[in-house]
Amino acid sequence: MRFDVALGAAALLTACAPKVEEPAGPAFSRVVVISVDTLRRDRLTRYAPDGRSLTPVLDEMMNEGFVLDDHHSCASWTYPSALCVATAQSTLDLGFVPQVAGADDVVLYEGGAPTISDWMREAGFATALVSANGFLCSAAGAGTFDLELCGSGVASDVTAAALAFAAQQAASKRSFLHVHYLDPHQPYRAPPEFLEGQSELPSTPFDYQSTAGLVEIEVAWPDLTTEERAAVVANLDFAYDAEVQYVDQQIGVLLDGLRALDMLDDALVLFWADHGEQLTDHGQIGHARTLYVEETATAAFFWASRDVPAVAWSEPTTHADLVPTLLSLLGLDVPLNQITGQIIGTSAPDRIVIQSLASRDQLIAATRGDLHLIYNLNGEKALYRTSVDPTEQDNVYDPADPDVIAIWDVLAPMALRFADLTGATMVAPGP
């Protein structure tokens, strides 16, 4: 079902209802954005290949909402992903590609492009942000808010702060609240109540709740036996999954609190995860390492108690599409002359989605259908067909493949742009 068709059906149902005087203004008086750091898509029940069920709160919302089932981040770490959402532009279009570095060494965006907070404020919304990751905040150029609280904090602290801001916004005619949870980011330290069963895991010499311990695993990984690797993965999955369960529970607490404040019945909710996490899938732990699917395939959906149909949208979408679609759902003007993201349902079904990463390797990738082409500016190329190889283990790159050539027609100029913005040396792109 096309997005515009689905929304049109909802609008028709509304039009056929008894006529009442409608207040002027946006379709919803409350907007709540919930974003989660480092959330693998395969940890949501909808996408879990092994049937694991960790996220009952998000599962229920996805069952009722408009879900983007082929959604992609713009990058594999928070800062470029957050900029992509906030500005509705990829970092390549924005003309600024953040380089992975120490937290205090990352060069911050100062380009001044308008963001979601600007558009919401122009529409009369009181704006607030609570984020446990500073890369979403005003100091990072990701928007300015009437109320803002940034910095570290476990999920329960973030929830409490968000509900305190929501209580301040309750008297406002219109409000926009963005809540960003850092969990399940490293280190994986879920509260004790989520660690039941940990003692039954196979014993290993590693600490799964510290960054240093995870680094030790990476160093040891090449020399571990198959049995030792299986034991490590079991412990690693448990620690990460406990964090996922914790943040899902806290999202439930947040929603209950908003409901108690009477701020959910007329709310449009947008959920997105900034990127995924590698858990030894390709021999590493963490993110901002590669552009493999476990780091770049993410989750996103829209939910509301009314007027947003339950639809599984199967066409490709990216972070830059979220805000223009949100504005469209609100009935607000979409600043198409200021953005490159597209309202969902207006792009070609076979569009090519681009991701990039400026880190130890300079990587750019293109996804088209079930094909994922990853190009290292040093000349290395890989192609994965995710319909038969969902974990991207089998490189089937063939320079003579017509599909590869077609992808390069789009990817090559983007690779040149990426190299120009990063100052990286590049082997000439192409098949």
332-350 pLDDT per residue, tens: 999 999 999 999 999 999 9
Q: Which residues of 241-258 are buried (b: 16+ CB within 10 A; e: fewer)?
A: bbbbbbbbbbbbbbbebb
Residue 10 banded pLDDT, cuts 50, 70, 90: very low
Helix axes 226-260, 155-169, angle to 10 degrees: 20
Structure tokens at 221: 């990984």
pLDDT tens-digit readout, 58-79: 999 999 999 999 999 999 999 9
Task: Map residue 416 onto helix, strand or coil.
Answer: helix
Angstrom distance (rounded) from CA 62 to CA 324: 20
Average pLDDT over the chain, rounded to an integer: 90
pLDDT at 103: 55
Which residue reads 């009369």 in tokens?
124
Q: Which CATH architecture has domain 3-351?
A: 3-Layer(aba) Sandwich (3.40)
Check residue 2 and give its pLDDT.
Answer: 39
d(CA 72, CA 297): 5
Higher-pLDDT residue of 26, 409: 409
What is the pTM for the complete model shown?
0.92
The pLDDT value given to residue 24:
52
Q: What is the DSSP string of 311-373?
A: EEE-S-EEGGGHHHHHHHHHTPPP-TTT-----TTSS-TTPPEEEEEESSSEEEEEEETTEEE
Check residues 84 and 308 and name the one with the higher pLDDT.
84
Architecture (CATH level 2) of domain 361-422: 2-Layer Sandwich (3.30)
**pLDDT tens by residue, 115-134:** 999 999 999 999 999 999 98
Tell me the C-alpha distance between 379 and 384, whole Å.
Answer: 17
State the Cα–Cα distance between residues 371 and 379, nearest whole angstrom: 19
Confidence band for 20, pLDDT divided at 50, 70 and 90: very low
pLDDT at 152: 73
Residue 22, pLDDT above cutoff 80 = no
**Average pLDDT score over residue span 411-424:** 93
d(CA 187, CA 196): 18
Q: Examine the pLDDT at 377 and tell me if it is beyond 50.
A: yes
Determine whether 227 is exposed, middle or buried from the number of CB atoms within 10 Å of its CB (0-12, 13-18, 19+). Answer: exposed
pLDDT-wise least confident of 99-103, 275-279, 421-425: 99-103
pLDDT exceeds 90 at position 172: yes
pLDDT of residue 13: 25
Question: What residue segments make up the domains of the chain, in order of their start?
Answer: 3-351, 361-422
Provide the percentage of residues in the chain whose pLDDT is more than 70.
94
Reply yes or no on whether the pLDDT at 107 is more than 90. no
